[in-house]
């Protein structure tokens, strides 16, 4: 009853829309002959200050996490209905494996910072960012920030931002989640997976290392999302686990990501070990959290659930796409609708779906 009342209250406070549920394909299945991209995988979303929606992905020239990848971008000027041609913004020219595009937008200046990594054989990595000051039309040269992780007490050599997107706090600080490990040549228990954040408190002029989530020897937290819940920041992380269905873990910070609580298991029902999209919004003192992920078994049937009590309890999942599906990212758009960028099929290709609260809270089925 509390969940239904909170959703009803929220719907009364936002402008009235006709019910919205719109699917589109960004990067179709098959080889992009112009750039020899075989599949698109690992996704990030951002909405620029001018309203343009930016969708980022790895453009995989060869299949495999450490094989040659570009970082590619598409733009929508109508909230995800139509998309521009694909643009390579970080090009693999000599077999480089560029991975995990993770954008964050400075709300004051409009500057967009895109973090990504270069993967060296899944053993080590370097982390970079590029900057756009014209809503994603042009991008700066790369700045390396790998030295931010020199303070890692475990001296892990592998660091990847994201996946997904970073966040901007009400005080203007920008946060980006990063996960760490030793080489995959080690057994899972010896890889010492863990999560931290990096942040900027000067609109992106400088970036600093934040706190590390504790419990490395108890949890194998890796690919993660960050959201705000009230005056706290929550990290929600995937676990490196071979079970068919696994929990995620959550950790909270009340000082902007400098210190983190001991992780606890998420209350959302276990699902296959895979990346999940997460976003939050606060309206008139109420916090809402939305989560997208495959229901399984395996990486199948992408669905969404929402929480009205700070991720303590969740609605029943509602299907977004029936069939093979994998990673996803979700953002709230300026018109208060939501956009999900997600992967389908194998080889993997990318699609998007836009919907509003009326669709999310209705009983309409979507199994196309």
Condensed to tens digits (0 to 9), the pLDDT of residues 208-244 reads: 999 999 999 999 999 999 999 999 999 999 999 888 9
Predicted TM-score of the model (pTM):
0.93
Contact 141, 203 (CB under 8 A): no
CA distance readout (Å), 192 to 155, 210, 211, 257, 345? 10, 18, 16, 20, 31
pLDDT in tens, 286-319: 889 999 999 999 999 999 999 999 999 999 999 9
Q: How far from chain centre, in Å, is Cα 44?
A: 5
Contact 342, 354 (CB under 8 A): no
Judged by average pLDDT, the poorest of 4-18, 223-237, 261-275 is 4-18
Contacts of 320 (CB under 8 A, 6+ apart): 292, 302, 303, 304, 340, 342, 353, 355, 366
Judged by average pLDDT, the poorest of 1-5, 20-24, 52-56, 249-253 is 1-5
- CA angle centred on 294, ends 317 and 168, rounded to 5°: 85
Q: How confident is the model at residue 15 (pLDDT cuts 50, 70, 90)?
A: very low
- Please, which residues bridge with residue 131 across strands? 113
Listed by start position, the domains of the chain span: 108-361
pLDDT of residue 254: 98
pLDDT of residue 243: 87
Q: How confident is the model at residue 177 (pLDDT cuts 50, 70, 90)?
A: very high
- Identify the CA nearest to 292 among candidates 318, 262, 270, 312: 318
pLDDT of residue 209: 99
pLDDT of residue 366: 46
CA atoms within 13 A on the CB side of 322: 5
Instruction: Tell me yes or no: is domain 108-361 CATH 1.20.1250.20.
Output: no
192: left (phi over 0), alpha (psi -120 to 50) or beta: left
pLDDT of residue 32: 67
State the average pLDDT for the chain. 93
């Amino acid at each position: 009853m509390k969940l239904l009342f909170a959703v009803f209250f929220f719907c009364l406070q936002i402008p009235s829309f006709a019910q919205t549920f719109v699917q589109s394909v960004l990067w179709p299945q098959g080889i992009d002959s112009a750039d020899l991209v075989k599949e698109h995988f690992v996704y990030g979303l951002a909405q620029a200050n001018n309203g343009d929606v930016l969708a980022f992905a790895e453009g995989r020239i060869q299949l495999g996490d450490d094989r040659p990848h570009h970082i590619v971008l598409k733009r929508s000027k109508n909230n995800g209905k139509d998309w521009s041609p694909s643009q390579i913004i970080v090009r693999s020219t000599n077999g480089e494996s560029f991975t995990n595009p993770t954008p964050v937008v400075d709300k004051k200046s409009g500057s967009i910072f895109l973090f990504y990594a270069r993967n060296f054989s899944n053993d080590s990595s370097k982390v970079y960012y590029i900057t756009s000051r014209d809503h994603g039309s042009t991008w700066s040269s790369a700045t390396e920030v790998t030295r931010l992780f020199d303070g890692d007490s475990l001296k892990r050599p592998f660091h990847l931002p994201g996946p997904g997107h970073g966040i901007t706090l009400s005080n203007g600080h920008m946060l980006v989640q990063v996960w760490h490990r030793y080489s995959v040549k080690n057994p899972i228990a010896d890889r010492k997976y863990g999560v931290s954040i990096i942040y900027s408190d000067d609109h992106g002029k400088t970036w600093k290392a934040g706190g590390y989530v504790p419990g490395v020897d108890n949890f194998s937290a890796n690919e993660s999302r960050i959201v705000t819940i009230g005056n706290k920041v929550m990290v929600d992380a995937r676990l490196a686990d071979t079970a068919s269905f696994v929990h995620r873990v959550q950790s909270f910070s009340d000082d902007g990501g400098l210190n983190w609580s001991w992780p606890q298991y998420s209350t959302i029902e276990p699902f296959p070990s895979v990346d999940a999209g997460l976003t939050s919004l606060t309206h008139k003192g109420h916090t809402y959290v939305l989560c997208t992920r495959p229901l399984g078994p395996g990486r199948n049937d992408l669905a969404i659930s929402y929480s009205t009590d700070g991720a303590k309890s969740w609605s029943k999942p509602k299907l977004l796409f029936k069939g093979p599906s994998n990673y996803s990212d979700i953002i709230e758009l300026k018109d208060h609708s939501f956009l999900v960028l997600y992967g389908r099929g194998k080889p993997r290709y990318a699609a998007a779906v836009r919907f509003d609260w009326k669709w999310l809270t209705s009983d309409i089925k979507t199994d196309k």
